[in-house]
Amino acid sequence: MPEYKAPLRDMKFVMQELLDSETHYQKLGYEDATPDMVDAILGEAAKFTEQVIAPINQIGDEQGCTWTDGNVTTPDGFKDAYQQYVEGGWPTLSQGVEFGGQGLPHSLNTTIGEMMSAANHSFAMYPGLSHGALATIEAHGTDEQKTMFMPKLVEGTWTGTMCLTEPHCGTDLGMLRTKAELNDDGSYSLTGTKIFISAGEHDLSDNIVHIVIARIPGSPEGSKGISLFIVPKFNVNSDGSVTDKNAVTCGSIEHKMGINANATCVINFDGAKGYLIGSINKGLNCMFTFMNAARLGVANEGAAAAEASFQGALAYAKDRLQMRSISGVKNPDGPADPIIVHPDVRRMLLTQKSIAEGGRALIGYLAQLVDIDHASQNPEEKAISNAKLALLTPIAKAFLTETGLECTSHGIQVLGGHGFIKEWGMEQLMRDTKISCLYEGTTGIQALDLLARKILGSKGEILKPFAGEVAEFCQTALATEGMEEFIKPIMGYAGQWQDITQSIGAKAMQDPDEVGAASVDYLMYAGYITLAYFWAKMAKVSIDALNNGAEDKDFYEAKIKTARFYIQRILPRANGHAACIEQGAKSMMELDEEHFSF
């Protein structure tokens, strides 16, 4: 099993040097988030993830969860680890002080989220969805609902879920059948079945708060008639105290490809008591608060998986002796050279490293945009941040999970046959990571959201704030000696990005299928360019550090060389996606349905 070590040096580089977190926090009024405080928190988080939750990752996969008469038992060690998580105050970190939180920045919590996901994906999911439930209730709930549910969710003694999918409908939420009928006391009785509910039932917390979409009788059909509700496992008094069991049951748990230690549940609501959040028939508007938070969390899972797989593959590649280097013996005292000397192994390791570190930079940037949305008092600043978040969230979610999955495949490949064996833990990483490409909207759904709803829906306007930022950086950075090799390619691709967008828009006027045919290639194209921008920024910071006599010379030189690898060997993948887009929809759509046969 890979021995996970939190990459604190690189995390601090992203936060402190690349993104200047100290100035960012001071500007937004996060006075307690001093450099010393942040370093201390990251250090303690590293200890917790390395010493408490990483050691139970493999046993969690082997044992899985067990279901008995509607109750779910988590694997050995999970309940104790979750208790330590709560006692350590980790759930409260970025929550508001008015509900018992510590009031620290979202971006700091995001960094800790990467550690947790890389150390133990299944464990990290139990508290992970609570953040979305909290954000939804805080943004759209009444004062009474906040009093009832927020304090216990904040402290982590209760957890939250998101209940969307039903047996007959997934992404097409307008087809839902769960109904909500008004009670005399103003609450609602919910009846229906939800499936694929992560952490829908377990033995870690005292209560589970489900955020549920349903239709009130008489509401319009389709997505226009969806309302949102809070439905607790145990009923709750107005002061937040627990009463009797609600009519919420776990019908079964799924037997899955991965994340076996996290219970994926069928949840039945049999006249369960619930509380309307927001306005009737505006449930999807409220739900996007939850979904956007969850999508950034899933993007973080992709980068975390790349990091975890890289660590396991790197340790093996340095130790495993196999063949001699074709450029000459590198280990004369041994029977063979370590496989890290071979170019193809380096190709895989550097791909993992460039995706993990580039993804960390992108996620850190997005997390700071969330900080701005939460804490800025400047409406214009918030509007620009929200525009960038709207553009980059689907890119980060889909691109980082797809490339993260690729990196876990490389991790297996570096180990060869040993990578295919369970005891090494590399194949578990791949199985666990595949779900990240699926939940909170598949790659195809993220791509349609990006291209159809946001890019074409705004007539390209949503691109302008981020594109302007990239262009401004490129122009400024060219003045730094050694930056041209990173900047020139990005400028070329950025110009092509605009041309491709206009071309798709023109074709779509004649054939709407052109949008769906181009969407995934468009998103991946955008993803490669976006990560190139952050690699160029990291190269610039590193060059400046070396020019200023930085002591950690090896670290900064490694950054520059990894940036070079990304620009020269990964960014050109965008050309293939551009070529596919150019070919259009015809070859996808011309085969008649009846001719799809085997």
The per-residue pLDDT for 291 is 78
**How many other CB atoms sit within 10 Å of the CB of residue 223?**
15
- The pLDDT of residue 533 is 98
To the nearest whole percent, how much of the chain has pLDDT over 90?
95
Q: What are the DSSP calls for 446-473, one per residue?
A: HHHIIIIIIIITTTTGGGHHHHHHHHHH
CA 252 from centroid of its chain's CA atoms:
26
Pairing of strands 242-245, 234-236: antiparallel
Using an 8 Å Cβ cutoff, are 261 and 63 in contact? yes
Cβ neighbours for 457, distance < 8 A, ≥ 6 positions apart: none
Is a pLDDT exceeding 70 seen at residue 249? yes
How wide is the angle at C-alpha 350 spanned by C-alphas 369 and 16, nearest 5°? Answer: 35
Which band of pLDDT confidence, cut at 50, 70 and 90, is reported for residue 598?
confident
Query: Cβ distance 529 to 571 under 8 Å?
Result: yes
pLDDT surpasses 90 at 42: yes
Q: Where are the strands (E) in 325-440, listed by range?
A: none
505 pLDDT exceeds 90?
Answer: yes
Task: Using the predicted structure, report yes or no on whether residue 229 has a pLDDT greater than 80.
Answer: yes
Q: What is the mean pLDDT of residues 248-255?
A: 98
CB 225, CB 249: distance < 8 Å: no
- Segment 278-292 mean pLDDT: 86
* Residues 401-435: tens digit of each pLDDT: 999 999 999 999 999 999 999 999 999 999 999 99
- Dump pLDDT digits (tens) for 510-561: 999 999 999 999 999 999 999 999 999 999 999 999 999 999 999 999 999 9
d(CA 284, CA 36): 41
pLDDT band at 4 (very low <50, low <70, confident <90, very high): very high
Per-residue pLDDT, 390: 95
- Residues 181/147, Cβ–Cβ less than 8 Å: no
- CATH domain 287-447 topology: Butyryl-CoA Dehydrogenase, subunit A; domain 3 (1.20.140)
Return all residues near 421 (Cβ < 8 A) that are at least 6 apart: 427
pLDDT at 1: 67
Which residues have CB under 8 Å from 3's CB, separation 6+?
Answer: 54, 311, 315
Q: In Å, how far are 277, 302, 582 from 159, measured between CA atoms?
A: 18, 23, 47
Higher pLDDT, 42 or 171: 42
Share of the chain above pLDDT 70, in %: 100
pLDDT of residue 290: 72
Average pLDDT of every residue of the chain? 96
Q: Is 2's pLDDT higher than 90?
A: no
What is the pLDDT at residue 340?
98
Contact 497, 320 (CB under 8 A): no
Burial of 57 (0-12, 13-18, 19+ CB in 10 A): buried
3-state SS, 400-450, equals HHHHHHHHHHHHHHHHHHHHHCHHHCHHHHHHHHHHHHCCCCCHHHHHHHH
Catalytically annotated residues: 440
Terminal-residue alpha carbon distance, the chain = 40
Range 455-482 average pLDDT: 97
Mean pLDDT of 444-450: 97
Give 58-107 pLDDT, tens digit per residue.
Answer: 999 999 999 999 999 999 999 999 999 999 999 999 999 999 999 999 99
Q: With cut-offs at 50, 70 and 90, classify the pLDDT of residue 29.
A: very high
| Residue 315 structure tokens | 């340790």
Residue 75 DSSP one-character state? P
Nearest to 397 by CA among 436, 367, 371: 436
Token pair, residue 537, equals 């920024």
534 touches 527 (CB < 8 A): no
**Euclidean distance between CA atoms 224 and 168, whole angstroms:** 19
Q: Is the pLDDT of residue 565 over 90?
A: yes
CA distance 350 to 531: 14
Look up the pTM and report it.
Answer: 0.97
- Beta strand pairing status for 71-73 and 66-68? antiparallel
User: Buried b / exposed e across 8-21, counting CB within 10 Å, b at 16+?
Assistant: eebbbbbbebbbeb
Quote the DSSP letter at residue 301.
H
| DSSP label at residue 74 | P
- Residue 284 in tokens: 């999807």
Check whether 142 has a pLDDT greater than 70: yes
> What's the count of helices (H) and strands (E) in the chain, helices before strands?
19, 11
Domain ranges for the chain, please list them: 287-447, 459-589
Residue 1 burial (10 A CB sphere; 0-12, 13-18, 19+): middle
